[in-house]
Amino acid sequence: MAYADFVTAMMALFIVLWMMNSGKTVKESISGYFKDPKGYTRQIGAGPANAEVPRAGAENAEQLRAKLEAALRAMPDFQKLREHVQFSVTEEGFRIDLLETEEGMFFVTGSASPTGAGTHLLRALALELGRMPNRIVVEGHTDARPFRNAAPVSGYGNWELSVDRANAARRLLHTYGIAASQVVEVRGFADQKLLNSGDAGDPRNRRVSVVVKL
């Protein structure tokens, strides 16, 4: 046996003997690291000095939901908006969907201009999310009803509207408390991801989504 192999084998033996006599906490830490080195390091906040701040994990999603709901309930007239604010947890993160009505609940119909209700709700979200280190994605969605005189190569259509609404929401979030570095992506999907695929004209398909990455 080569000398280097002998030293390696002896080191492994000593590590095993040390672990056998270690406490439960040490054993769990070592086991967690070898199962998922990157995930475990992020979980305990270790790693390089410039590593990202640990964010709320999926197990804290309900706490996040409760905090955001409490902030929204404190808004005047929130009961009128309650049915149009939808919370869900996805693989990407904690999603908040602002569902439109036929008349235009959060944005003026056919426009990227926020209504008073939309401005107040996004302000309440920004005040809470701005206190958190989580990264944020903002999405815009439309229904499948086409704009008059809009074509894929000309005019103003659903693609433009979805992107413009997402950016309008982003600007409001920044205005009321979201750090510039928190928003990592702005997406416009037009009518490609319908909330109600059974009715492409359902006004709830027109929505802005704020995704809090976990």
Note the pLDDT tens digit of each residue in 107-143. 999 999 999 999 999 999 999 999 999 999 999 999 9
Q: What is the pLDDT of residues 14-33, one digit of tens each?
A: 777 776 776 655 566 666 55
**CATH number 3.30.1330.60 given to 58-213:** yes
* Cβ contacts of 75 within 8 Å, gap of 6 or more: 81, 120, 121, 124
Distance in angstroms (rounded) separating the CA atoms of residues 100 and 85: 9
Q: Write down the mean pLDDT value for the chain.
A: 84
pTM of the model: 0.71
Cβ atoms of 159 and 188 within 8 Å: the answer is yes
Domain boundaries, the chain: 3-44, 58-213
Tokens of 187: 């997406």
